[in-house]
Amino acid sequence: MKSYIGSSSGDILSVFELVSKGLEAQLNSIHATLSNERVKIPTFGDKKLLSGLYRNITRHALRCIDDEYRRLKDAENPKKGPLQPCTNRFTDMMGLPCARRLRWLIERSEAVQLTEIHPFWRIDDAPLPFKLVSSFPVSCAEFYWGCL
C-alpha cells in the first residue's frame, strides 16, 4: 500500500484516490490468483479420491489433504507404525478431512465431496464480498467545504 501512496504529503482527497488505486490493484491481484488456481491442476494426490475437488478448492488445501493421505499411507507401513488416535484437531482447525476420514472414504471407494471442505478453501465464481468505489463521489469543494 505504501508504494501506491508514495509520500505522506498531500491532501486527503489525493491520498484517498491513491489508497483506492492500491486497493484496486490488490483486488486485481486476488482475482488473477484465483483464476490461476482454477486453471492449474496439481499433479499430486490420489486422483480418484480428490476428483471432485480439482478446480474447486485451492492447491494449498489439496496439498494439505494429500499430506493427510501420505500420513495414512505411512501408517500402513509396518516400519512407521499406526495412525495416532483421532482427536479431530486437523478437521476442526483446517476444515479439511483427516487421514482417518480419507481411509473411511477409500474403503468405500468414494471421493472426498466438496461439502466436506470448509468454504474458506473453495474457489468459486461467487463475487468477493466487497466492491471498491472506482472514484471519489464528490468534488474537492464538496469534500472540504460541503458546498456545491
- The grid coordinates of residue 59 equal 492447491
CB 33 within 8 A of CB 146: no
pLDDT at 16: 80
Q: Which residue has the higher pLDDT, 64 or 145?
A: 64
What pLDDT is attached to residue 145? Answer: 44
Q: How large is the average pLDDT for residues 113-139?
A: 68
Nearest-angstrom CA–CA distance, 97 and 55:
18
**Neighbour-count burial for 83-122, b at 16+ CB within 10 Å, e otherwise:** eeeeeeebbeebbbbbbbbbbebeeeeebbeeebbeeebe
Q: pLDDT confidence of 3, banded at 50, 70, 90?
A: low
Cβ proximity of 42 and 62 under 8 Å: yes
pLDDT, tens digit, 9 for 90 and up, residues 36-73: 776 667 666 777 888 888 888 888 899 999 999 999 88
Task: State the pLDDT at residue 138.
Answer: 46
Question: Which of 103, 41, 48 is CA-nearest to residue 70?
Answer: 103
pLDDT class for 84, splitting at 50, 70, 90?
confident
- Residues of the chain with pLDDT > 70, as a percent, come to 71
Under the phi-then-psi rule, with left for phi > 0, alpha for psi from -120 to 50, and beta for the rest, what region is 97?
beta
